[in-house]
Amino acid sequence: MLLPRKLWFKWQRVKTFWRHAWGRKEQPAYDASLRMCPNCRGLIDRRVSVCPLCGAFTRPARSRGGSAPGRVMGVIPIPRTATSALVGVNILLYAVSWYMTQKAAAAVLSAAPAWGGIDNRVLVSLGAKFGPAIYAGQWWRLVTAVFLHAGLLHLGMNLWVLLDVGPMTEALFSASKFIVVYLASGVAGFLLSLWWSPFVVSIGASGAIMGLIGALIGASFHHGTLGKEFRGRLWRWVIYILIFGLFFAVDNAAHVGGLVTGLLFGYLVPEGEPESGAAETLWSLLGTLAVLIIAGSFALMALHLSRITG
């Protein structure tokens, strides 16, 4: 029996998600060569300009100019997904904080922290979560703290998990919903951390990443038996992270705040690209607002840094 066209494409999307989620050995968990057609929602080759499933125009053909596609001046790669953009921002902020740590150590003729560690004073100046400063009006720290890390190991662990669950969450919901839940989970995590331990300096993307895991868990409640089995695997990751936090002085309050935010998002927000014009406009605005909040927070951090160093 043939399914209605819209229902068939929804079924294909669900099958693709769970096939990726369970991770067949011969396939990666996320196929970056595919993207979703904005018209029929089917998965198509990222390079095509016309959808082979519905015939809709998907994007302009590649430029014949001298620059390589997807690169600025043919050299600097342009992030193709929200996940890769977030990874790039985290690496950039770590590079800045590492340079400032080395400069501060050289100024007092002392050794910088080992293993790529970052000076705590540098983290505070760059926007770490710190209650007295936030209560003094520096609310932007709730955002900038999400992108700061205490060392190479801290950065590497968070980026490892982000690259694992990020593409899956982004493919299941959409890029705009993904960036909204990432920012909301990170901020909610640090708000709970601010209430729980206002005088403790805290940084890191783990609260936002727990939000992504929570979003997948929340969405799994809508997928019956397969969702229950997949949810069990994700809950084990949550337990491992929380236990790790108990023994290594990690900010579990931020983890819990991010997880709860992601759970609510995944359970309440419909999966996939917005299906109506109004919904598409709404999520585009929310995604743009999230990006502006992040950019504005970094701008306020830069102004603060210029005042304390100038």
Any idea which residues carry the catalytic annotation? 206, 255
Q: Centre a 10 Å sphere on the Cβ of residue 240 and count the other Cβ atoms it contains.
A: 10
C-alpha 65/C-alpha 54 separation (Å) is 29
Which token pair is 9?
């494409």
Helix (H, G, I), strand (E, B) or coil at 50: strand
- The answer to whether the beta carbons of residues 131 and 196 sit under 8 Å apart is no
What residues are paired with 129 via a beta bridge? 202
Q: Centre a 10 Å sphere on the Cβ of residue 278 and count the other Cβ atoms it contains.
A: 9
User: What contacts 59, CB < 8 A, 6 or more positions away?
Assistant: 49
Q: Centre a 10 Å sphere on the Cβ of residue 228 and count the other Cβ atoms it contains.
A: 11
- The answer to whether the beta carbons of residues 258 and 218 sit under 8 Å apart is no
198 φ, ψ to 5°? -65, -25
C-alpha 218/C-alpha 258 separation (Å) is 13
User: What contacts 156, CB < 8 A, 6 or more positions away?
Assistant: none
Residue written as token pair 């499933």: 53
